Structure 1
């Protein structure tokens, strides 16, 4: 079994080396690492070129900053694995959780598995996630997703999405930014697939530490959920 790990990256000079180290330390699975630098301006690109290209299977350098969704789309044509996982480059999500995610895919025969921060114990390692509007939007998006798409999720906006690579050819992704998350969930759901969840750890960052998602992203996510619901 080959696991393709897609890592979209923008201005993560403080964490990118640690993330790649953590990913490579997961020795129980054969890996293909695809890193997409989304035109970073903080020195991340130089770190990748000078220190990391030799330990990464495929590096893609975007000439224009387009967003997380566009970075993931750029990686998909290069996927060689049977299974795909999305890994953020900011250390909020721990690659040590890959095993529980992959066990659900392969031992429980699930097509799509999400890592739920809500199911994790303790729920969150870092209180930064618990700012009022972030809690509100995460729960609101999850509730809306469940109602519109007949899912039973606890954390629809999680980064950790693991899926069978055969699904790449069955959905057409168009969203460029953080709305990749609701778009992916919507289009997977429209295939009639029930998404399974497993508990994961989470170490949320503050905006001062580099958190990038904004309230406007939450509002646009709601729009994307409804847009895909009414579309054919």
Structure 2
């Protein structure tokens, strides 16, 4: 393992994008080279201009722009294809997740103890307390339903922090354009043969409100149920 690719899907995140990229750029990556792939999903604010400035000032940063808004899943599909690292992780463009946790996420893979690592917000009491109650309950329900059909024992299927080798991502065809990508990736990893060793590590989390730009809503929860059933039962 020589390089870590951090894929940042971005839509209207002008307030936080530069700070997130700065934190990613200074994160402890356990000695791996770093690549940052920003996929701007046709933002209506100054996100794309900010990302372009970041790419021009740091050779590790690449910018890909969607001509029309397609959703987080579509942005990640683009980013995963473009990533050149041995390992790939998703970093949302807000400040809910802390890149300081990368070193914890990388350890099980670099130590040969796991193939895939998820960062769980529910293994860290402080992160759990930062959840809004409704979101926390919905997440636990979706994770439980996913576990029932995948055979996994996850505590946080919906986590942004999924650290996956590029070679495994290349075997997955992502079809979901929005937040359904989370159960889709989980199901497709779980049903691979041979099945990857997947472990969780606790990560920190600061939940933001809708007023601060949070985008996921109840319709995405309904869609997640559809995706869990679809990608586990209709393979």
Taking structure 2 as the reference length, the TM-score comes to 0.93
Instruction: Give every structure 1 segment of 4 or more consecutive aligned residues whose post-TM-superposition deviation is greater than 6 Å.
Output: none
CA offset at residue 135 of structure 1? 1.8
Over the residues paired in the alignment, what is the CA RMSD in angstroms?
Answer: 1.4
Spell out the pairing of 1:3-82 with structure 2 (5 A cutoff). Answer: 3-27=4-28, 28-55=31-58, 56-82=60-86
- Size of the aligned set, in residue pairs, is 229
Deviation at 1:182, TM superposition (A): 0.6
Q: Distance in 2 between matches of 1:221 and 1:33?
A: 28
Quote the Cα distance in structure 1 between the aligned partners of 2:94 and 2:51.
Answer: 14
Q: Residue 120 in 1 paired to residue 124 in 2? A: yes
The corresponding residue for 1:130 is 132
CA displacement 1:54-109 (0-9 Å, x = unmatched)? 32432100001000110011112222111110100001000000000000111143
Give yes or no for contact 1:82–1:166 (8 Å, CA) kept in 2: yes
Name the residue aligned to 1:224: 227
> Could you tell me which residue of structure 1 aligns to residue 107 of structure 2?
103
Q: Hey, what's the Cα distance between the residues in 1 that align with 2:116 and 2:155? A: 15
Q: Does structure 2 retain, via aligned residues, the 8 Å contact 1:116–1:199?
A: yes
Query: Is contact 1:32–1:81 with CA below 8 Å preserved after alignment?
Result: yes
In structure 2, C-alpha distance between the alignment counterparts of 1:121 and 1:40, rounded to whole Å:
34
Contact 1:8–1:68, Cα closer than 8 Å, also in 2: yes
TM-aligned CA distance change 1:4 to 1:183, over 3 Å: same
Partner of 2:93: 89
Q: Is the 8 Å Cα contact of residues 119 and 199 (structure 1) preserved in structure 2?
A: yes
1:77 and 1:223 mapped to 2: Cα distance? 25
Q: 2:170 and 2:55 mapped to 1: Cα distance? A: 30
- Please list every run of 5 or more consecutive structure 2 residues that lacks an aligned counterpart in the other structure: none
In structure 2, what is the Cα distance between the partners aligned to 1:218 and 1:105? 30
Deviation, structure 1 residue 217: 0.3
User: What is aligned with 1:203?
Assistant: 206
Q: TM-score, normalising length from structure 1?
A: 0.94
Q: Tell whether the 8 Å contact from 2:55 to 2:63 is kept in structure 1 after alignment.
A: no
Q: 1:10 touches 1:39 (CA, 8 Å); kept in 2?
A: yes
Structure 1 residues without counterparts, runs of 5 or longer: none
